[in-house]
Structure formats: C-alpha cells, structure tokens
Amino acid sequence: VPPAPPVIILVRPQLGENIGAVARAMSNFGLTELRLVAPRDGWPNKRALETASGADAIIEAAKVYPDFAAAIADIQVAYATTARPRDMAKRVVTPEVAAQEMSAALRIALVFGPERTGLENEEINWCDTLITIPTAEKASLNLAQSVVVVGYEWWKAACHPTQALHPSPDDNNVAPKADYQALFDHLETCLDAGDYFRTPTKKTLMWQNIRTMLLRGQWSSQEIQTFRGMVRNLWEQRSERK
Amino acid sequence: VPPAPPVIILVRPQLGENIGAVARAMSNFGLTELRLVAPRDGWPNKRALETASGADAIIEAAKVYPDFAAAIADIQVAYATTARPRDMAKRVVTPEVAAQEMSAALRIALVFGPERTGLENEEINWCDTLITIPTAEKASLNLAQSVVVVGYEWWKAACHPTQALHPSPDDNNVAPKADYQALFDHLETCLDAGDYFRTPTKKTLMWQNIRTMLLRGQWSSQEIQTFRGMVRNLWEQRSERK
C-alpha cells in the first residue's frame, strides 16, 4: 500500500477545464485530495466536472478555501511548483527528489499557482521547498501537465520507494502551518508596534525573509510555543521599560 | 549538448488542438521533430497551430505520412507508448528505462496512437519495445500528457546521463525499418505463394508473431540481406522442385 498521497492545492485557478484536467491527471497517480483557493469562476464549476470525466469523485470532494493560509493550515510540509526561479532563500528540488523525500508520516501539499501568472511571493514564502520541473530553455507546461509530472514522480517513488518514504523519527513533530500562522501574527503585531520595519516599502521583503528563515527550521508545535514564549517575554519587557 | 532527440510520431491523431498541445509539450523537453500519420482532419490544421502557441516551429516543420510504414522507414528503433498491455511477445519498459537506454547514435522514434483507440496491433508489431507509463488502476492520460511524461524522462536522461546514452559498438549497425519492410514484403510474397498460412483467418496473428520474432534481433542491414539471401535460396529450390 503506497503512503498517504499528498494534497494538491490549486491557488486561484482560472479555467474550469483546467481544474477538471488536473483532477483527471491526479486520478492517474493515486492522488485524491484536491483543494482550491478562490477559484476565479466560483464553485461548483460545470466545466470542471465535464472535463474531469472519470475523476468526478475528486471534483465533487474538492474543498474550497477563501485564502491560501486557510488551505495550508493543517499542512506540515508544502512544496510549491514554480516555472521560474524566485529570489528567495528556499531550497529548490526536482520533482524526482521531492517525491523521494516525501515522508508517508507527514501531511504534505503540492501547491500550484494560477495559469500564466503563477504563485505570488507571499504564497511561495509559505512553502518549505520549491519544485522546478527540468525543461528546455522555454518551459510552457500547463497546469494539468505540471500536475502530471509531479504526480507521476510521486507515484513512481510511492510504488518503488528508494531511500526515503519512511518516516524519520521527528516527522510527526513538524507543526501544522496554522501554528506558524499564529506565530507570525503574534510576531508581526509586536514588531509593528515597535516600528521595527521603519519604512513600509521595505516591510514586505524584510518580513518575507524573516518568515522564510523561521519556516526553514520546520519546528514542532512545542518549539513554536517556546519561540512565542520568548517573543512574549521580550515584548513584555519592552512594554515595562516604556 | 544532449544527444539527438527522438522523433515523435502521432498515428492518426484526431483533434488539431491535441496535435498543438503535443508540439507545445515537446518544446519543453527539447524535442523538435514531429511526424503525423494520416491526421484525421487533414494538414495543415489551423487549430493545431493556434494551440501550439510558442511551438509553432514544430507544427510548421511537421511531416505528414500516408501510412505508418512510410513514417518509420528511416527509424532504427521505435518505442510504442501503450496504455494497456498487449498480447505480444514484446519487451515492455517504463518511460524511465526507455529514456536511459536510448542511444544518441540511433535514429529513434516514440510512437503514440490515436486518442481513445490507441495503436493497432499491426503498428505496435513494428515497434521494438513498448513503453507503459506506470499509473494507478485507471490510466486516462491524454495524448499530450503522455508525451509530457515520456519527453520529461528523455530530457532528464539526456541532461544527466547515467549508464546508457553512449552508443554501444553495434548501434550504428541497426537497420532502418525500411530494410525490414523490404524483407517482410519479400518473405510474405514467398510464404503466400507457398500457401504457408493456410487459413486466411489465422494469417494475421501468425504473420504478426513472425515479424515480432524477426524484429527482436535488431538486425543490421547486412544481416537482413543475409536473411533475404537465405529466403531467396529456399524459394528458388522450392520452385525448382515443382
């Protein structure tokens, strides 16, 4: 029995037929859970169901989320599939490496951005690792084709595990993203109050880099609580000094 | 520099948009040569060009052939991609294994059948090896998605060659299919004349098995000439005895 398959998250998908094609692609590789973040044309979508032919069950079970944060709240490790490299201190791997390192014990998501524009930096920042599909100079895989490649590699690794695919001892400890979300809300409030970011124009990038740094540790819920305790402690000292 | 890419042959493709999508998929993985066998809606095809966006050059350079035999005449090794297993004594490999064993020195074709129906046994029989994409119980990859998977594996192997991808000593000796075509025409004429196949209903399968057997050796042109010499010799003896 292959390990629990990763969740596919489509962020702001545009065309219903592309969502249907993704569902059909998923069914080829044993992927069953589809999440949609703010699909442009609403939900349910007639075209999606028509195009999914044979994978109707995936479309019917798809869950819709108002924003990306909600869609990844229970996810422990998220991979973002991006066509072009981003200037972010994130690990970048091939679909093959990603598939081989996915642990059966973790709640994993494979995240795909909207047609043409791709994911926003804000969303990529939430993801632990980036997947780039190796292509010739000009990559123009569509949404479902990207899901085919990543799903195909997952299926190969799941059916014929090599080194990974067994849980490492600490896997179960990786916090769901909701814990990080709460931490970041907490931290940002404190930093804003102290005018840490100074110029608003610089905040976006500074804050992004900080979150990248903190996410990289793949902390446990306990560790996040510890960190928040430190933040709270520092914050209260600061208030007292005022 | 990666080795010369394999030729993509689409047999009796139906929808122009699927041909365009295949061209676009090809461009991602450095595949440039497209051949079409009897495309249903004729050629050139406006929809194919529209869908290819960015891969127009592949569509414009595509060559059309009246039948499969003409399309593979100069091919040394042909791989057929099939969704379901066929009852034929042919080697079956994964896209990964196929990609790793493709020699740069050979003229190779990747053959894909029409939407829905797939290749006919007659066409599969011409191919040296079958490729089956590993999928969950129900495979429903469309034409371009199948090209994506096989092209992706070729590109991976071409960019990061492992064991194979260097010519083995005898690679240049593998005869083009045209030599086998001439041999089979010759042999079939002789066998028919001698009423070898007896009942016409059994001929299809018997003849298919013979060709499979003879193709498997991947003979050189010289070896085919030798074999034809033997056939001719036997045939002439037979005529004399009459």
DSSP notation for B29-84:
TT---EEEES-TT-SS-HHHHHHTTT-HHHHHH-EEESSHHHHTTT-SEEEEE-SS
Q: What is the pLDDT of residue A159?
A: 83
Rg (CA), chain A: 19
How far, in Å, CA of B110 to CA of B101, rounded? 13
Burial of A137 (0-12, 13-18, 19+ CB in 10 A): exposed
Q: What is the pLDDT of residue A168?
A: 46
Can you give the length of chain B in residues? 242
Q: Does residue B164 surpass a pLDDT of 50? A: no
Q: What is the pLDDT of residue B216?
A: 78
Mean pLDDT, consecutive 10-residue stretches, chain A (242 aa), reads 80 97 95 97 96 93 96 93 78 92 86 93 90 85 95 90 47 81 91 85 86 82 85 70 58
Instruction: Determine the distance in angstroms separating the CA of A92 from the nearest CA of chain B, rounded to an integer.
Output: 16
Q: Does residue B168 surpass a pLDDT of 50? A: no
The answer to whether the CB atoms of A140 and B28 lie below 8 A apart is: yes
Q: What is the pLDDT of residue A170?
A: 52
Instruction: Determine the distance in angstroms separating the CA of B168 from the nearest CA of chain A, rounded to an integer.
Output: 26
Q: Tokens 């190969």 appear where?
A: A156
To test the contact with chain A by mutation, choose from B28, B96, B143, B155 the residue with the greatest count of A C-beta atoms within 10 A, namely: B28
Q: What is the pLDDT of residue B206?
A: 85
Terminal CA-CA length for chain A: 60
- Check if B158 contacts A (Cβ < 8 Å): no
Instruction: Determine the distance in angstroms separating the CA of B22 from the nearest CA of chain A, rounded to an integer.
Output: 11
The answer to whether the CB atoms of A145 and B144 lie below 8 A apart is: yes
Instruction: Determine the distance in angstroms separating the CA of A236 from the nearest CA of chain B, rounded to an integer.
Output: 55
B111 or B138, which is more confident:
B111
Average pLDDT over residues B119-123: 90
Measured between CB atoms, which of A28, A136, A155 is closest to B30? A136
Average pLDDT over residues B224-230: 85
Coil, strand or helix: which one is B93?
strand
Asked whether the beta carbons of A35 and A68 are under 8 A apart, the reply is: no
Q: What is the pLDDT of residue A84?
A: 73
Residue of A nearest to B160 (CA): A134
Q: What is the pLDDT of residue A172?
A: 60
Residue of A nearest to B52 (CA): A140
Q: Does residue B193 surpass a pLDDT of 90? A: no
- Check if A128 contacts B (Cβ < 8 Å): no
Average pLDDT over residues B78-99: 86
Residues in B touching A17 (Cβ below 8 Å): none
Q: What is the pLDDT of residues B67-78, one digit of tens each?
A: 999 999 999 899
Give the confidence band of B144 by pLDDT, cuts at 50, 70, 90. very high
Instruction: Read off φ and ψ for residue B91, nearest 5 degrees.
Output: -65, 140
Residue percentage of chain B with pLDDT more than 70: 91
Q: What is the pLDDT of residue B229?
A: 84
Q: What is the pLDDT of residue B165?
A: 39
CB pairs under 8 A between A and B: 71
B219 or B81, which is more confident:
B81
Reading phi first (left if > 0) and then psi (alpha if -120 to 50, else beta), residue B48 is in alpha
